[in-house]
Every structure is written in C-alpha cells, then in structure tokens.
Structure 1
C-alpha cells in the first residue's frame, strides 16, 4: 500500500511561503524544493494545485516566484487538503466483491459508513488548524 504525501508537501510549501512572506521574499520552486528536499517539478505541480484553489499566485517578471494571496491565518489545512487531494480518504474494493458471499454482499456499505464518519472527523480537525498555526508550531520547536 502506498502513502500519499501530497497534503504534507502542500502544507510544507505554504508554511515555508508564510515564513518567506514575513521576510518580504518571493518564493521560488527551487528554494521551496530545497526545504522539502524534492525536485522543483514536484513543487511546481503542487503550486499549480494551490493556485487553482486560490491560495497562491505566480509573480512574473523581475523577482518572479510565488506569493500567498490569502493570509496564513485564513488558510486552513482543510482548504489545502481540498486543493491537493482527490477522491475518498479510504478506497473500497477495486472490483465489486462477490454478492453471493454473506460478507462480500455487505462489506462495502458497512465500510462506507465507517469511512464516511472518519472523513467527516478528519475534515473537522483539518478545518481547526491554519497555516499560521503550523508555522507557529514549527518555529516554537526551533526555540526548544
């Protein structure tokens, strides 16, 4: 089973941009990639998703790069999640289970209810945390 890190990368990107914003710097995919320790292409794809969601914009010309267009306090992790993730949190079977089997017949509705509840709880938690909260937590760990 593979793990999806798109949300983690997007939160890292926005948190980095939030700190850069405080220092009046323009973020470039190369500089952000250095922090994430990944290829700038991965960062550009992520920034494209975040741009489509109205969280960042590209700055052209001299001093080109990326800018936050919302305050970090106003960007919830739920907004980031919705910008970069597609589909359900948990997937069901790739092909339908055997309807003739007593378990196969009812497993998808049973798990669908559980997964739906988990998705709601996760989204509620993500809505409670902003990029500013993440930045504050990250910075407080440097003082420790």
Structure 2
C-alpha cells in the first residue's frame, strides 16, 4: 500500500487549525479550503483526534482545535496517525524458491524498504506544523495577500 491522500488532508487540516488557532474551525471550514467533502474531513479529523493531535467540541460554536502546540506536531505525527501499513511493500505472494533472485529478493527488499521508511520518518519528523504555518504566511506576504 502506498501513501494515500490522507496524509496531505491531515497536514492541511492541522495547518489550518494552527493558522487560525484563536478560532474553532468546523469540518466544513476545512473542507472548503480543501475543496473537498466535510464527511471526508471529519473522518480524518476523527483519526487525528484518536492520535491526540486535535480535539473537538460539540454544539453551537463547536468545532475542531489543536490538542497540542503547532511546534509540537510534526508531519510524521500526522502521517503516522492516518496511514496504515508500510509505504513500500514486498511481494504479495512469495517468489519462487527455485530462482536465485526469487530466493533472495524479499530479504534484500525488506532491508532497502525499511531504510527508505526510516528516511521518510526522519524527514517528516523534522518539519512541524508551526513551520508550515510560517511558510504559508511567508508565501502570502510574497504574493501581497496576507490577511
């Protein structure tokens, strides 16, 4: 299984919640920014809530907020909350033991794929949601559009 769009949606939602931290946002607010469906956003937010990254309040004026400071949430936190299984997977069926490549490839690929996963974890772990908010604001200033 590869990385789905869930990671991008989760990171987008977390960045919005951090950007407008003084407000509670609804799944509809976030869905509008994603040009997506609020039901999809609610599913992702529910998974992020289960991971302790966001919290929700019910009722009038309710919605979603961050459960931790933006500087304490990494992209890897978001990825790990919403993605299941490894990014890179081996053969669905064991290769032939009669072939020299088949006998050896699975163990070789497992080592390579694990190293790639560790590199992904390390890279995503270096960037926080606070860093993305700063980048968003810098891009808006460049464009002369910051509110």
Q: Under TM normalisation by the shorter chain, which class is it?
A: over 0.9
How many residues of Structure 1 are paired with residues of Structure 2 in the alignment?
Answer: 142
Distance in 2 (alpha carbons) for counterparts of 1:104 and 1:2: 23
Query: What's 1:83 paired with?
Result: 81
Query: What's 2:116 paired with?
Result: 118
Out of 26, 30, 33, which is 1:32 matched to? 30
Distance in 2 (alpha carbons) for counterparts of 1:77 and 1:3: 13
What's the secondary structure of 1:91's corresponding residue?
coil
Is 1:93 equivalent to 2:91 in the alignment? Answer: yes
Note the residue ranges of structure 1 that are not aligned, 5 or more in a row: none
TM-score by length of 1: 0.93
What's the secondary structure of 2:20's corresponding residue?
helix
Query: What's 2:127 paired with?
Result: 129
TM-score by length of 2: 0.91
Q: Deviations over 1:37-95 (max 9, x none)?
A: 11111101100110000011110122011111100010011111111111111011111
**Aligned pairs for 1:1-144 within 5 A:** 4-21=4-21, 24-144=22-142
Note the residue ranges of structure 2 that are not aligned, 5 or more in a row: 143-147
Stretch of structure 1 that moved more, 71-80 or 2-11? 2-11
Stretch of structure 1 that moved more, 3-12 or 51-60? 3-12
* Paired residues of 2:2 and 2:88 also in contact (CA < 8 A): no
What's the secondary structure of 2:64's corresponding residue?
strand
